[in-house]
Structure 1
Amino acid sequence: MVISTKEIEVRYAETDQMGVVYHANYLVWMELGRTGLIEELGYNYAEMEKEGVLSPVVDIQVSYKKPVRYGQKALVKTWVAEYNGIKVVYGYEILNNEGEIALTASSSHVCVKKDTFRPISIRKSYPEWHEAYIKAKM
């Protein structure tokens, strides 16, 4: 299984009044992890968008375990948890400075045509990308 890692330096603006990372910022970090994984697999989401294809989030599950604070570094781990040729489920773990799991999550995505928002098959439209997902999941 391919697991992409991305280090995040926590900025003050990402924290809340309690001094911990505001919950919505983890979603941004998950996007950074997902984009990094796709790039590690040799593909580029921005290029797909230029072709009129989007990949919206259709479901997201997040479980917060430990706080991450300003001045710390977080490590975002991202992988392909499930894939069926149409829907991709990415798995995530975000670790705090001490290497403890701060968050576990998953996000589900489908590819759609930008003009109609109708789903497309990654398997048919992007066969090389499809194969990369299959291999990354092993």
Structure 2
Amino acid sequence: MLVSEKKIEVRYAETDQMGIVYHANYVIWLEIGRTQLIKDLGFNYAEMEADGILSPVIDIQVSYKKPLRYGEIAIVKTWIESYDGLRVVYGYEILTENAELAVSASSAHVCVKKESFRPISIKRLLPDWHVVYEANKKKDIEQ
């Protein structure tokens, strides 16, 4: 299972009146992490979109553990939590520079045709992605 890593320097504009990262900005960082994972797996999300396939979020879960502040470094770790040929669930951890857990999260996605927004089978229409996602999804410990 590949765990991708992306470092992000917390910018002043990402903080709120309390001086900590505004909660919605973590969701943007999840997207940055997901894009990095897809790149690390050898694919390009923008090319998939140019081919008329989108991957909307259908569910997102975020748990905030420790705040990050302006000037700190956030480390976004991303992996494929589960994949079944149609739905992908990505797992995330956002860590501080000292490896303390700031956020844990997951997001579920399906791929759809851009013109109709109808779900597609990744296995059938993106066979290269399917093979790589199968090989890199989180394995059950009991297997």
1:99 is displaced (CA, Å) by 1.2
Kindly indicate whether residue 4 of structure 2 is the aligned counterpart of residue 4 of structure 1: yes
CA distance in 2, matches of 1:136, 1:20: 34
Count of residues in correspondence between the two structures = 138
TM-score, length basis structure 2: 0.95
Alignment-derived partner of residue 25 in structure 2:
25
TM-score, length basis structure 1: 0.98
For 2:106, the aligned partner's letter is S
Kindly indicate whether residue 96 of structure 2 is the aligned counterpart of residue 96 of structure 1: yes
CA distance in 2, matches of 1:114, 1:22: 31
CA distance in 1, matches of 2:108, 2:44: 18
SS at match of 2:23: coil
Unmatched tracts of structure 1, length 5 or more:
none
- Superposition RMSD on alpha carbons, in Å? 0.7
Alignment-derived partner of residue 68 in structure 2:
68
Counterparts of 1:16-55 in structure 2 under 5 Å? 16-55=16-55
1:78 is displaced (CA, Å) by 0.1
Alignment-derived partner of residue 114 in structure 1:
114
CA distance in 2, matches of 1:47, 1:97: 32
Alignment-derived partner of residue 77 in structure 1:
77
CA distance in 1, matches of 2:2, 2:97: 23
Unmatched tracts of structure 2, length 5 or more:
none
> Percent identity between the aligned chains?
65
- Show CA shifts across 1:67-104 (max 9, x none): 00001001000000000000000000000132100000
**Post-superposition, which runs of at least 4 consecutive aligned residues in structure 1 deviate over 2 A?**
none
CA distance in 2, matches of 1:82, 1:6: 20
CA distance in 1, matches of 2:18, 2:43: 38
1:61 is displaced (CA, Å) by 0.3
- Show CA shifts across 1:20-64 (max 9, x none): 000000011000000000011110110011111100000000000
